[in-house]
Amino acid sequence: MAETRTEALHQNAEGLDVQTPDAILSFLANAQIEAAKAVHGAIPAIAAAADLIARQLRTGGRLAYAAAGSSGLMAVADALELPGTFGIARDRIAILIAGGDEAFRTLAGGPEDDTEEASAAVVAANIGSGDCLIAISASGSTPYAVQALNDARSRGAATIAVANNRGAPLFKQADVAILLETPPELIAGSTRMGAGTAQKIALNMVSTLAAIHLGHVHDGYMVNLSADNIKLRDRAVRMVAAISGKSREDAARLLEESGGVVKTAILLAAGAANADTAEKILEGTGQKLRPALSALGHDPEKWNPLFGKDHARTRK
């Protein structure tokens, strides 16, 4: 088997173990920074992946993540945040990780070679037409990830591959291939480091852009969040107040009237007759707040009722 980039030795690795602690840590930090830069070359593919995910979710499909080892941990970190951050229903997200729940405790290496487990996981999750599966593997050849992607594709799902080696087998059946060409690891083969950092960034970028396409972000606000704790309820109040220009007290009242739904509360502040009317307006705009405000006669770039209709908001 030919040596791949993810198995090669980093140029600064020779004599690493006899360097001073400060020097070692500087090498480690710089290696992570260099790895993170790999996402820049993947931006067109990341954009295509986000568009694909948004299209599948918009039409009722689900998003599945499939991976093993440290790549699986990156997948889980992204997937589990989507319901809370962007209000995507938990039953619309599937996580297929080699070794199942036990992987979170042991992260054993063996399950990543189990193609039968991968096939069974795709069937158990009922991945099929209308869904999208994103498979992640630093080497791009992990049997579990490759099998899961190929099976998902054969069942009619859209597929996205994320890997850190050019020409990876994982790319062959993918609708979108995201190559994160990170440098060799300072500890050769330890892809939990630079490769994992680039994967984490890329997955965050993909899911965030998909959420923007779905109308879950307005300016820099997560306006479709699920406010299920004190911190997030306070964030929801602050968002409604900031976007509408209402006081925090009024924002809290509007949120109560809207059942805790941020976008609905903002449209109530903008003049929607009631929550049902606000929700119908959002349905007509594909859940996007900016055109919904326009439908109520406001310029969303200028509207702030605290200072009167169409008074420009101050942007710092």
pTM recorded for the entire structure: 0.90
* pLDDT of amino acid 148: 98
How far is residue 102's CA from residue 83's CA, in Å, rounded to a whole number?
23
**Rg of the chain (C-alpha set):** 22
Burial class (CB in 10 A: 0-12, 13-18, 19+), 290: middle
How far is residue 63's CA from residue 131's CA, in Å, rounded to a whole number?
6
In order along its 316 residues, the chain shows pLDDT tens digits of 566 878 787 887 788 888 999 999 999 999 999 999 999 999 999 999 999 999 999 999 999 999 999 999 999 999 999 999 999 999 999 999 999 888 778 877 788 899 999 999 999 999 999 999 999 999 999 999 999 999 999 999 999 999 999 999 999 999 999 999 999 888 888 888 899 999 999 999 999 999 999 999 999 999 999 888 999 999 999 999 999 999 999 999 999 999 999 999 999 999 999 999 999 999 999 999 999 999 998 877 766 654 444 444 444 3
Helix segments in 129-274, DSSP class H: 143-154, 194-213, 230-244, 248-257, 262-269
Which helix (DSSP H) or strand (DSSP E) does residue 67 occupy? strand 63-67
How far is residue 214's CA from residue 198's CA, in Å, rounded to a whole number?
24
105: tokens are 């405790």
Ordered by where they begin, the domains of the chain are 16-213 (3.40.50.10490), 230-307 (1.10.8.1080)
* pLDDT of amino acid 304: 62
How far is residue 267's CA from residue 270's CA, in Å, rounded to a whole number?
5
- pLDDT tens readout for residues 28-64: 999 999 999 999 999 999 999 999 999 999 999 999 9
How far is residue 238's CA from residue 292's CA, in Å, rounded to a whole number?
20
Q: Which of 7, 34, 81, 181 is catalytic?
A: 81
Q: Which of 112, 117, 185, 279 is catalytic?
A: 112
- pLDDT tens readout for residues 228-283: 899 999 999 999 999 999 999 999 999 999 999 999 999 999 999 999 999 999 99
Residue 112 a catalytic site member: yes
